[in-house]
């Protein structure tokens, strides 16, 4: 079967490329950077969705990658958090070169399956490994922006405390919202006074399914492929029904 890429046959639902200008960049860790873009024509998104980003050089070479949206929904603006990947096509530019005023193209929002909106009122479990916490942070930020009262349990798994994105914001949200619990788990080495020994995510790190009225926790798992597969298996082992678990795999490097 062969479909020709002919403009006449392209439906109105085709997602257009939009021009985006970098407003601000700030480092989350030594190798990851959050980028805030002004995007005229951007109508907002559902937390969990992603965009395709395209860079074009002056000699016409272009490259494209997907990045999860880190921010809550807003019109005209969005934020990405990018982890440098060695030999990466886009990430070295986005993290180390791009400056306010520079532009790129993006299209989206993409993905209707891995998303959260305020219409979902049941308790939410977020399990993120490495840069997998980006779309989950969007979910947390959207939950706060909308005033949703859905309880959120956010489990961030990273190698060391220096590898965690959004540290200050996560700490402040955890302290100021009664129904939001943030656990930061370290796989390689943690803080001196940590009760939990550093190591991979295990069954004891995960809560059982909610015992509330609905009995179902909506769980979102994101990160490197290996992490997602083992975390999803652990959730099943903990009793969460498969239909409650949504996953997004970032590939071997998770970047």
Binding site for another protein (CB under 8 A): 1-5, 10-15, 19, 50-52, 54-63, 66, 87, 89, 93, 97-99, 102-105, 107-108, 110-114, 225-226, 229, 246-252
Contact criterion met (CB below 8 Å) for 43 and 83? no
DSSP 37-90: EE-TT-----BT-EEEEEEE-TTS-EEEEEEEB-SPP-SSEEEEEEE--TT-SS
Find the shortest distance in angstroms from Cβ 55 to another protein. Answer: 4
Which of 87/204 has CB closer to another protein? 87
Find the shortest distance in angstroms from Cβ 42 to another protein. Answer: 14
Find the shortest distance in angstroms from Cβ 78 to another protein. Answer: 15
Which of 113/176 has CB closer to another protein? 113
Find the shortest distance in angstroms from Cβ 86 to another protein. Answer: 8
Find the shortest distance in angstroms from Cβ 60 to another protein. Answer: 8
Find the shortest distance in angstroms from Cβ 6 to another protein. Answer: 9
Which of 196/246 has CB closer to another protein? 246
Q: What DSSP state is assigned to residue 209?
A: S
Which of 55/201 has CB closer to another protein? 55
In degrees rounded to 5, what are phi and psi of residue 142? -70, -40
Question: Which strands, in side-by-side order, build the sheet including 32-38?
Answer: 62-68, 50-56, 103-110, 18-27, 32-38, 77-83
Which of 199/252 has CB closer to another protein? 252
Which of 19/30 has CB closer to another protein? 19
Find the shortest distance in angstroms from Cβ 126 to another protein. Answer: 16
Compute the distance between CA of residue 253 and CA of residue 91 in angstroms, rounded to an integer.
12
Which of 15/191 has CB closer to another protein? 15
Give the burial class of 139: count Cβ atoms within 10 A of its Cβ; 0-12 exposed, 13-18 middle, 19 or more buried: buried
CB atoms inside a 10 Å sphere around CB 26: 10
Contact criterion met (CB below 8 Å) for 101 and 220? no
Contact criterion met (CB below 8 Å) for 30 and 84? no
Give the burial class of 183: count Cβ atoms within 10 A of its Cβ; 0-12 exposed, 13-18 middle, 19 or more buried: middle
């Amino acid at each position: 079967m062969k479909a020709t890429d002919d403009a006449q046959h392209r439906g109105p639902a085709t997602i257009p490329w939009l021009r985006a200008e970098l407003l601000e960049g700030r480092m989350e860790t030594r190798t990851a950077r959050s980028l805030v873009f002004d995007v005229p024509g951007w109508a907002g998104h559902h937390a969990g969705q992603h965009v395709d980003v395209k860079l074009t050089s002056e000699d016409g070479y272009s490259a494209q990658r997907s990045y999860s949206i880190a921010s809550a929904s807003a019109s005209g603006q969005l934020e990405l958090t990018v982890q440098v990947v060695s030999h990466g096509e886009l990430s070295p530019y986005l993290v180390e070169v791009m400056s306010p005023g520079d532009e790129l193209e993006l299209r989206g929002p993409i993905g209707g399956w891995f998303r959260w909106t305020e219409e979902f009122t049941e308790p939410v479990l977020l399990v993120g490994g490495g840069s997998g916490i980006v779309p989950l942070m969007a979910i947390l930020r959207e939950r706060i922006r909308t005033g949703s009262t859905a309880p959120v349990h956010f489990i961030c798994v990273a190698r060391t405390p220096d590898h965690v994105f959004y540290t200050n914001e996560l700490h402040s949200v955890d302290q100021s919202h009664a129904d939001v619990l943030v656990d930061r788990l370290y796989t390689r080495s943690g803080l001196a006074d940590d009760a939990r020994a550093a190591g991979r995510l295990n069954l004891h790190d995960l809560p059982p399914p909610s015992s509330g009225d609905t009995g179902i926790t909506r769980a979102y798992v994101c990160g490197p492929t290996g992490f997602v597969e083992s975390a999803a298996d652990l959730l099943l082992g903990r009793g969460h029904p498969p239909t409650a678990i949504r996953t997004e795999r970032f590939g071997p490097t998770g970047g």
